[in-house]
Amino acid sequence: MKRTLLLSLVVVLILSACKKKNEEVIISLQGKWTAESDVYKEYNNSTLTSTYTYTYEKTTFDFQSNNNLLIKDEYGTETLPYTIQNGTTVTFAGDTYEIKNLTAKSVVLYYREEYAPGEYMEYFINLKK
């Protein structure tokens, strides 16, 4: 009896450790995201001089499969074309953002603009599903 129970337990453990090949999940920027916040940082002489954080309410970014981005907020809906390059950057509204920390539930879009050596700004858009 003990031997049968032990053998059953070993079989269950082995089967649960096996991965199924068809369970691969593809994570994509496409889809509807809820904007949580923007963070804007200014640097002077490569030193952070100021940080501004804006928290969104009821704003969504919908990256549609037809390469249109619908941004909905309390002021209405704006439709912009977008392109994704190599799965690492997205361009819309004339700016190119790095796609950072993309998971099934969140992503950060990062933009940096250099004004002069050591003078620049960083902009982060935090989105959640």
Q: Count of CB atoms within 10 A of residue 28's CB? A: 13
Count up the domains in the chain and report the number.
1
Residue 70 lies in a domain: yes
- Does residue 5 belong to any structural domain of this protein? no
Q: Give mean pLDDT in consecutive 10-residue pieces for the chain, a chain of 129 residues.
A: 50 53 71 96 97 95 96 94 94 96 96 96 97
- Structural domain contains residue 76: yes
Beta carbons of 81 and 67 less than 8 angstroms apart: yes
Within a domain: residue 108?
yes
How open is the CA angle 74-80-86, to the nearest 5 degrees? 125
Q: What is the pTM of this model?
A: 0.78
Question: Residue 95's domain spans which residues?
Answer: 31-128
DSSP label at residue 23? G
Helix (H) or strand (E) holding 13: helix 2-17
Please report whether residue 107 resides in a domain: yes
Q: Residue 54: inside a domain, yes or no?
A: yes
